[in-house]
Structures are given as structure tokens and as C-alpha cells.
């Protein structure tokens, strides 16, 4: 039996579709608005959604894009409208809708569309979390609007962000599902025209241009000159001033071009009230992608996350949420789980040392290793004072691999002036 969610603000249409689909042997859930549809989607995983476009609180296209941007578009969606246009149908299809039905919907067309949709293999959650997933957050909605407004006129967007920011969350907002996402800090080879051609329509990204090595700086400059040709956006950020960047080898002309248009991006410490929702979305996305078992955060756990300092910013929050999902022994993650995971981190940063809990030690190796690696690298970062050269020697990792590993764990790498001290 298939689970079908019908979303329409007209009670007559909801009841008619429900009756038809139940007669066909399906289990049907009804939602009268986008808000109700969000709650239904978060509570379960329907096999199919019939989604009306015109609704009073939020239109279906916006909701569809929100699901796509948050990694929740893992089920086929059929759009419905009594005032549809070709442009609307094309837009919905680009976002990820499988079909488009005009009202009044003929019975045979409905049944055929439902049959085709249910025969389609479930989609995997794609991409990363973006600002579009937070339609109810005023500061994140505001940043999204400003970002899209700037990006509409400029291929390059510079975000001025203090350490502990949400740069990736912002940059993902300009990323189209299915298009390329290139993290310049992960590139160890020179970019070529062929590589840019393959990435057409995508996003080039660097969380902190002050951490790029000389080759990566050249890659950024090379790509920045060809953004229009390949219909790409470049989203970069820094917490450093021009003088510090010049000292790291950047040329003044390059910085002038990068800083031609810029936005201020808040840190997580400025977004404490948004942290519970961000964490919940990250946890949901991990479950949707099959990276972890399905988990949920208790109210007390969400409050514990809200109170944490998040010096490592969005990357640290991602790492902590994933570690909690992998190490939790219950479906609901409790405040004690958060405290147990984060307390050793605070101990390391204050020089008191850290230990691993019995729960972590009892995990399978792959899951326990991820928790341990984060503690391990935090400890050695503290011992070496953030010096990347000594950290590479201490851990036995090649520098490019070390930068990638620290980023994956949500840890900030040392600056170049620290490396050379």
C-alpha cells in the first residue's frame, strides 16, 4: 500500500482525490496548506505527493523548492493547478516535480500520473542544506533575499563573516540541484577550461579565502575571469581585512575585484534562536540520505545545542549533529548525549584533556572513529597552537589531506602567518 500526501486548500478537491485514491488501494493523508504539508512531510516519508500550486499561506512552487533545497525531495511530486501556465510547469519540472496536472483533473490522467510516479525509484537526497529550508526564520529569510538580490546582478559574491559563520549554508542557496559544486579549498590541481566547462551552471565556493594556498588562489582568479562564460557563481568569504590578505600573497587588483560586491553574513552566535531548527534540518537530511539511522533531537538537546559557543561555526555544527546521530543509542537524542559529546571538546580547549564515553567505545569502529577523530585533531590543534606545519608533522598527514580532514570534521585550520611562525 502506497502512502500518498494530498495538499490542496480546497476541501472538495481534497475529499474527491482522497476518495479516488483510497478506492485504488492507497493510504491517503490530507493537508490543507503548505504549513500542514511541511508537518506531514517531517512526520513521515510519503511515497508520493499531489501538490497544489496556489495556496493561501505559501505557494506549491515555493514549498517544492524548499523540499529540494533541504534534501527532502526524496519522493515524486505531481503539481496541480487550475491556473497553470507553461512557464509554471517548466519551473516546477526544473525544481524536481515529476508531472503537472491541470484542474479539473480527469480521472484517467490522475490515475496514469500516479501510476507512473509510484513506479519511479525513490530519489536520493541531494546537495547540502541552504537558506531556502528556513522559511520561518526572519534573519535567514532576510539573508537569503539579500544574497539572491546581489547574485542576480553579480556573478561574484563576497561574504564578510566572522569566524563561526554560516558561509556554506549561504553559498548553497545559489546552488541548483544537479549542477556542480566546487569547493576551491579542496582542489589540489590547477583548474582547466575543461573542468569549468563540465561545471557550467554550478557554484564555486571557498569558506575562507585566507586559508587558500597559492595554487588555490590562482584557481579562484582563473575561474573568476570566466564566470559569465560558464554561467557560474563564485561565493567566497573571509574574516580578514585587506592588509592581512595582501600579506598572504593576494594581489590588490584581485582583492578589489572580489570585494566589488559584498554582504555581511552572521555567525552562529548571532543566530542562537535559529540553531535548533538548523540542527533539526541537518539531522533530518542525514536520515533522508541514509547516512545515519532516523533520529530526532529532544527539546532539552536542542536547547543544549543552542547554548553552545560554536566557535567552529556551521562546519562544527554539522559534525556534532552527525556524531550525535551515529553515537546515540536511542531514537531520541537527549541533552545528556549532547553534553557527553561536547564536554570533552570544552575540556580540550581549556587544556584539561578529554576521554571517550563508554557509549562511544561500544560503537562499531566506523562510527566511533568519526567521534574520536574530531577529539584527536582538536587536541593536537591545541597542543600545536594552530600551527598547520607542525600539525601535519604531528599527525603524519599531507597538508592538502589535512585541510580537507579538518574541514570535514568542522574544525578551523590555522592561518598561514601561524604556519610560518
Mean pLDDT of the chain: 86
Reduce the DSSP state of residue 53 to 3 states and report it: coil
Q: Tell me how far apart the alpha carbons of residues 67 and 71 are, in angstroms, rounded to a whole number.
A: 6
Instruction: Give the start-end residues of each E strand in 224-311.
Output: 233-238, 262-265, 296-297
Containing domain of residue 312, as a range? 270-419
The reply to whether 219 and 307 lie within a common domain is no
The reply to whether 213 and 334 lie within a common domain is no
What pTM value is reported for the model?
A: 0.65
Q: Tell me how far apart the alpha carbons of residues 234 and 166 are, in angstroms, rounded to a whole number.
A: 16
- The domain boundary residue, chosen from 266, 289, 313: 266
Q: Tell me how far apart the alpha carbons of residues 23 and 341 are, in angstroms, rounded to a whole number.
A: 50
The DSSP secondary structure of 350-366, one letter per residue, reads TTS-----HHHHTS-HH
Band (pLDDT 50/70/90 cuts) for residue 49 is very high
**Whether 147 contacts 233, CB under 8 Å:** no
Q: pLDDT tens-digit profile of 139-172?
A: 999 999 999 999 999 999 999 988 778 999 999 9
The reply to whether 16 and 72 lie within a common domain is yes
C-alpha cell at 325: 546521530
- The domain boundary residue, chosen from 74, 89, 119: 119
Q: Tell me how far apart the alpha carbons of residues 153 and 172 are, in angstroms, rounded to a whole number.
A: 18
Residue 212 maps to a domain: yes
pLDDT score of 317? 94
Residue 125 maps to a domain: no
The reply to whether 253 and 278 lie within a common domain is no
Q: pLDDT tens-digit profile of 297-352?
A: 999 999 999 999 888 889 899 999 999 999 999 999 999 999 888 875 444 444 44
**Whether 129 contacts 69, CB under 8 Å:** yes
Q: Kindly state the average pLDDT of the residues 290-301.
A: 91
Q: pLDDT tens-digit profile of 16-45?
A: 999 999 999 999 999 999 999 998 987 778
| Count: domains in the chain | 3
Find the DSSP H helices in 60-160: 60-69, 86-95, 107-119, 138-151
The reply to whether 366 and 250 lie within a common domain is no
The reply to whether 181 and 216 lie within a common domain is yes
The reply to whether 415 and 274 lie within a common domain is yes
- The domain boundary residue, chosen from 245, 266, 287: 266
**Whether 346 contacts 320, CB under 8 Å:** no
Residue 180 maps to a domain: yes
* Distance from the first to the final alpha carbon of the chain: 65
Residue 309 maps to a domain: yes
Element (H, E) at 4: strand 3-7
Residue 124 maps to a domain: no
- In the chain, pLDDT over 70 holds for what percent of residues? 90
Which CATH number does the domain housing residue 21 bear?
3.40.50.2300
The reply to whether 282 and 410 lie within a common domain is yes
Residue 332 maps to a domain: yes
Amino acid at each position: 500500500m502506497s502512502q500518498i500526501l494530498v495538499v490542496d486548500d480546497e476541501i472538495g478537491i481534497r475529499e474527491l482525490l482522497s476518495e479516488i485514491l483510497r478506492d485504488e488501494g492507497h493510504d491517503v493523508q490530507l493537508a490543507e496548506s503548505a504549513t500542514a504539508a511541511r508537518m506531514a512531510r517531517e512526520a513521515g516519508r510519503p511515497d508520493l505527493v499531489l501538490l497544489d500550486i496556489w495556496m493561501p499561506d505559501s505557494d506549491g512552487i515555493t514549498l517544492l523548492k524548499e523540499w529540494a533545497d533541504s534534501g527532502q525531495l526524496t519522493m515524486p511530486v505531481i503539481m496541480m493547478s487550475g491556473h497553470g501556465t507553461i512557464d509554471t510547469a517548466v519551473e516546477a519540472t526544473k525544481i524536481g516535480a515529476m508531472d503537472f496536472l491541470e484542474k479539473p483533473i480527469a480521472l484517467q490522467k490522475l490515475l496514469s500520473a500516479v501510476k507512473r510516479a509510484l513506479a519511479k525509484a525513490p530519489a536520493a537526497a541531494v546537495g547540502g542544506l541552504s537558506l531556502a529550508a528556513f522559511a520561518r526564520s526572519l534573519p535567514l529569510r532576510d539573508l537569503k533575499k539579500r544574497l539572491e538580490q546581489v547574485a542576480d546582478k553579480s556573478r561574484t559574491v563576497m561574504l564578510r563573516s566572522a569566524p563561526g559563520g554560516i558561509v556554506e549554508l549561504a553559498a548553497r542557496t545559489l546552488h541548483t540541484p544537479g549542477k556542480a559544486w566546487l569547493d576551491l579549498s579542496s582542489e589540489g590541481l590547477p583548474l582547466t577550461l575543461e573542468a569549468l566547462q563540465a561545471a557550467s551552471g554550478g557554484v564555486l565556493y571557498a569558506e575562507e579565502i585566507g586559508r587558500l594556498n597559492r595554487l588555490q588562489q590562482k584557481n579562484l582568479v582563473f575561474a573568476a575571469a570566466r564566470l559569465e562564460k560558464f554561467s557560474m557563481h563564485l561565493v567566497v568569504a573571509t574574516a580578514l581585512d585587506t592588509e592581512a590578505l595582501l600579506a598572504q600573497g593576494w594581489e590588490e587588483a584581485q582583492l578589489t575585484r572580489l570585494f566589488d560586491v559584498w554582504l555581511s553574513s552572521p555567525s552562529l552566535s548571532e543566530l542562537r534562536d535559529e540553531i535548533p531548527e538548523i540542527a533539526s534540518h541537518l539531522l533530518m537530511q542525514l536520515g533522508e540520505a541514509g547516512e545515519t539511522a532516523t533520529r530526532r533531537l529532544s527539546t532539552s538537546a536542542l536547547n543544549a545545542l543552542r547554548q553552545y559557543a560554536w566557535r567552529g561555526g556551521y562546519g562544527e555544527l554539522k559534525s556534532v549533529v552527525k556524531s550525535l546521530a551515529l553515537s546515540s543509542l536511542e531514537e531520541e537524542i537527549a541533552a545528556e548525549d549532547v553534553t557527553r559529546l561536547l564536554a570533552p571538546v570544552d575540556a580540550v580547549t581549556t587544556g584539561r584533556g578529554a576521554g571517550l564515553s563508554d557509549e562511544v567505545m561500544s560503537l562499531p569502529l566506523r562510527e566511533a572513529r568519526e567521534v574520536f577523530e574530531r577529539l584527536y585533531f582538536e587536541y593536537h590543534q591545541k597542543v600545536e597552537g594552530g600551527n598547520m606545519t607542525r600539525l601535519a608533522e604531528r599527525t603524519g598527514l599531507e597538508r592538502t589531506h589535512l585541510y580537507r580532514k579538518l574541514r570535514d570534521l568542522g574544525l578551523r585550520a590555522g592561518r598561514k602567518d601561524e604556519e610560518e611562525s
